[in-house]
Structure 1
Amino acid sequence: MTTTEYQVTGMSCGHCEASVRREVGGIAGVEDIDVSAASGRLVVTSTADLDDDAVFAAVDEAGYQAVRA
């Protein structure tokens, strides 16, 4: 298992968290997602190293911006 942390900007509520969780959850190999609008933190646990660009695209699809923390 691999854990990767990202900083997400623009989230402000539980709906925002759910949107990010849904989009990132669609990435192959993702096992667990911890996302917090309050801290802007996204932690993704996966079966293998994640492609950062796939995470960035998924977060963008949810309507937010992410950078690797």
Structure 2
Amino acid sequence: MKDIYLNQKYILQLNNLKTMKKLFLNISLIFLYYSVSAQVEIYQISPSSIESILQDQLKNTPIYRNFGI
């Protein structure tokens, strides 16, 4: 009887793990979708403004500031 209980508990844990994996995958796909759509909106501005945005980001990044870029 104890073996059946432990087996059922193990199956429940496996099902919870599968559900969590699906949930995590769905959430990560949603984040991926919104990040890509945000990038698409940025790229619809114009090529020159994209270049200035990227240069501003590079200047404000501490790693690149040390190289004098």
When normalised by structure 1's length, the TM-score is 0.26
User: Greater strand percent: which structure?
Assistant: 1
Q: Answer 1 or 2: higher relative contact order, Cα 8 Å, separation at least 6.
A: 1
Which structure: greater helix fraction?
2
Q: Which has the larger radius of gyration?
A: 2
